[in-house]
Amino acid sequence: MGKSRFALLVAAILVSTSSLAAGNPPIRIGWVYALANAPALIAEKEGFYQQEGLNVELTSFGDGPVITQALAAHELDAAYIGAPPVFQWYSRGLKGQIIAKVNSGQAALLVSKNSTITHLADLKGKRIAGVKKGSGMDVLLRGLVLSQQAKLTADKDVQVLSMPAGNMVAALGQNVVDAAFTWEPFVSEAILRGDARVLLDVNQVQPDYPWYVIMALPETLKNRPDDVVKLLRAHRKAVDFINQHPQEADKIIADAFKLQAIKTVDGKTITPEALVQEARKRIHWSVSLTDQNSAFIQGLMNDSLRLGYMQQAPRLKDVVSTEWLRKAGLQP
């Protein structure tokens, strides 16, 4: 082959590749950096996005408010995120829609191992570590846990102190707070280390409550419907992998979240994989959105409205849609 002909062939290949890339821009997915959102990283690490022919740009974020700001700035197309930020921002004009479930469970209320608190009613007059006011976990704490279960009013009967989840168990040990409302892997770390005990596992009062979900912006749903279906199918593969290959998945999750071995009070060593296994007692991964899930999300919306975190609650059917799961063949 002559040099000129070879050069033309190379140029044609480059033009073709460039056109393909231009016609298949990445779908930009953000995910809250939480153990329960493991399907996002599993889908990437196990190649499930690629198997579905999906070009993905995956970015982790520290919490729901930060990821929602990125969505509002249209720096993302979809997200693995808690349900409350979705409907709270929907009420402010960001019309994102929940299109699949990621997990059920994750939260628990902890007290120190030597605490005299044995019942929720004992929290009256006490200090509870929580996260940022208005966040999803804050809504869950103030609404379901304190108001409905403990019959206590936050900031009146109990004091809620905002702090990073990673600092909560230390705050318990130093008597800065009397209880801490946190999630995995922090719950399991405290239990296995022997620093704390569970006063209330939210699963006990609200079995299989949905927490993290997949949401997409309206322009993503309108302009990239095929990619949305591919995303959900890759998500389903990741969830199946976690549930069907627990030992392999636990190793991937432990490595991805850089979990450390734990030393117990009696000198034993707990492996990172065993930590993930303990967390599975409170986290379950699934995809479909059930009527029970929708009812729970409606309850969260009601609490957010009552707490003043929204001026007006959107309609549930506008926020939660099973249409895309049906299009992907993942829900009847």
- pLDDT tens, 196-231? 999 999 999 999 999 999 999 999 999 999 999 999
Same domain, yes or no: 99 and 112: no
User: Do residues 181 and 145 make contact, with C-beta atoms less than 8 angstroms apart?
Assistant: yes
5-16 average pLDDT score: 40
Number of H helices, E strands in the chain: 16, 14
**Which domain-ending residue is among 152, 171, 205?**
205
Q: What is the pLDDT of residue 206?
A: 93
Whether the pLDDT of residue 23 is over 80: the answer is no
Domain presence at residue 2: no
Domain presence at residue 16: no
Same domain, yes or no: 61 and 174: no
Residue 96: name the closest of 115, 120, 76 by CA.
Answer: 76
Residue of 50 and 1 predicted with greater confidence = 50
ω before 207 within 30° of 0 (cis)? no
Whether the pLDDT of residue 186 is over 50: the answer is yes
Domain count, the chain: 2
Same domain, yes or no: 143 and 252: no
Dihedral over Cα of 37, 43, 49, 52: its sign: negative
Domain presence at residue 242: yes
- Which residue is associated with the tokens 């002909």? 5
Domain presence at residue 15: no
User: Do residues 143 and 307 make contact, with C-beta atoms less than 8 angstroms apart?
Assistant: yes
The SS3 of residue 151 is coil
Supply the pTM of this predicted model.
Answer: 0.88
Same domain, yes or no: 187 and 247: no
Taking each helix axis as running N to C, give the angle between helix 272-279 and helix 246-256, from 0 to 180 degrees, rounded to the nearest 10: 110
User: Do residues 24 and 55 make contact, with C-beta atoms less than 8 angstroms apart?
Assistant: yes
Return d(Cα 5, Cα 295) in angstroms, integer. Answer: 66
**Which domain-ending residue is among 205, 226, 246?**
205
**Which domain-ending residue is among 173, 190, 205?**
205
Domain presence at residue 297: yes
Domain presence at residue 22: no
Stated length of the chain: 332
Same domain, yes or no: 218 and 315: yes
Q: What is the pLDDT of residues 124-159, one digit of tens each?
A: 999 999 988 888 999 999 999 999 999 999 999 999
Return d(Cα 206, Cα 303) in angstroms, integer. Answer: 15
User: Do residues 100 and 287 make contact, with C-beta atoms less than 8 angstroms apart?
Assistant: yes
> Using alpha carbons only, how large is the chain's radius of gyration in Å?
22
Return d(Cα 104, Cα 312) in angstroms, integer. Answer: 26
Same domain, yes or no: 175 and 145: yes
Same domain, yes or no: 34 and 183: no
Whether the pLDDT of residue 28 is over 80: the answer is yes
Range of the domain at 199: 108-205
Whether the pLDDT of residue 22 is over 90: the answer is no
Same domain, yes or no: 213 and 93: yes
Same domain, yes or no: 151 and 171: yes
Q: What is the pLDDT of residues 84-101, one digit of tens each?
A: 999 999 999 999 999 999
What's the first-to-final CA gap in the chain, in angstroms? 57
Residue 142: name the closest of 124, 155, 126, 123 by CA.
Answer: 155
Q: What is the pLDDT of residues 296-324, one digit of tens each?
A: 999 999 999 999 999 898 999 999 999 99
Domain presence at residue 17: no
Same domain, yes or no: 150 and 280: no
CATH code, domain with 45: 3.40.190.10
**Token pair for residue 98?**
């929940």
Same domain, yes or no: 48 and 91: yes
Same domain, yes or no: 84 and 215: yes
Q: What is the pLDDT of residues 31-77, one digit of tens each?
A: 988 999 999 999 999 999 999 999 999 998 877 778 888 999 999 99
Q: What is the pLDDT of residue 294?
A: 96
Domain presence at residue 58: yes
- Which residue is associated with the tokens 């006990």? 204
